[in-house]
Amino acid sequence: MKKIQLLLPILLYSAVLLAQDRHFSQFYSSPLTLNPALTGAFDGKYRVGGLYRDQWRGLLEQPYQNFSFGADLRMDAPFSSKSNPDKVGVGLLFYRDIVNALDFSTTQIAISGAYHKSLDLGSTQFLSMGFQLGLSQRNVNYDNLTFQDQWNGIDGYTLPRGERLPENNFGYSDLSTGINYSVNPAPKVAFFAGLAYHHFNKPNVAFFKGTDIPKQPLLPRISAQLAAQFPINREHTLMMSPRLLFANQGPHMELNAGTNFRIEVDKTYGTSLHLGGWVRPVKNKDGFNLDAVVLMTGIEYNSILLGFSYDLNLPTIYKYKRTANVFEISLIYLGEFENDELLCPTF
């Protein structure tokens, strides 16, 4: 019966699972899901990274899982100034969201492109615009589900299923766009501001389809990102990176606000320690509440960054007297890093 209660909302109103729409605490570690304009927005030739999220293991026997893998390239734009060239970024994204209890999943493969326009002779300012085209598939496995009419009245759910269920998988296209502004006014000082518009084609994500069945569009999501990084000591061995992410999708809103610190441990080998934390208030149909306090730590070695974060979910502690156990692991590699004065925002 628990599975039935979960299945029907997914099949009929799968758009209500908006809280799982590309939701990562280490949002800057998955730049291609954050904002298409961040494709190629780094000082190097290429970037490869992955991010894994394990959610609610403390409450569910089979927790929710999210995984993203992205790779993007940065190159000089053709026909731009050789002394002060614009940049072009192209990227590939793989994303998968799994609700294990129902064997329900959303899988997406997307291509991204961005143009980074240099705004000054020193290439310290760039205005970027990006676009992303994704092909998504949703799937649910009916074999592991049982319904009330299958109960034989004695010892199990052995009777034939009477429900007429739709096809258990379907695909749809997903379009997103975004802009981003970055400025590097001084060595090791940078500011970033971006705006993204996801799912602007409003794809129908309902399993049930037909002329007499209302569509269930995936509501557009608008997100705004602000970030900065600057040294807080003369030796530039201690960096501070405050950041802010606002996202709104239909009746749902979330805000991530906090800061990261980068502590240089060994300049010769490029080793640094990252520590950070932020809070995430959210708004839904029930009003505002503080969803989580996020703690993060990471290690940077040359061009490799490994991060780990943990969400302390306050509502579940208050309601169920136990932790939800939400954690993420990220790994990023920057190839042929060009500018050691500025490292793009991560984690």
Contacts 24+ apart (CB under 8 A), 198-202: 198/21, 198/22, 198/174, 198/222, 198/223, 199/174, 199/175, 200/175, 200/176, 201/173, 201/174, 201/175
First vs last C-alpha separation in the chain: 40
**Residue 4 in this model has a pLDDT that exceeds 50:** no
Q: Give pTM, 2 decimals.
A: 0.87
Express as a percent the part of the chain with pLDDT over 90.
Answer: 58
Residues 99, 144 contacting (CB under 8 angstroms):
no
What does the pLDDT look like over 130-164, one tens digit per residue? 999 999 999 998 887 777 888 888 888 888 877 78
**Residue 101 in this model has a pLDDT that exceeds 80:** no
State the pLDDT confidence band at 339, using cuts at 50, 70 and 90. Answer: low
What does the pLDDT look like over 11-50, one tens digit per residue? 443 434 433 477 899 999 999 999 999 999 998 899 999 9
Average pLDDT over residues 102-121: 93
Query: What domains appear along the chain, each with residue ranges and CATH number?
Result: 2-335 (2.40.160.40)
Which residues 6+ apart lie within 8 Å of 56 measured at CB?
63, 64, 316, 324, 325, 326
- What does the pLDDT read at residue 302? 86
Mean pLDDT (the chain) is 87
**Residue 282 in this model has a pLDDT that exceeds 60:** yes
What does the pLDDT look like over 243-280, one tens digit per residue? 999 999 999 999 999 999 999 999 888 899 999 999 99
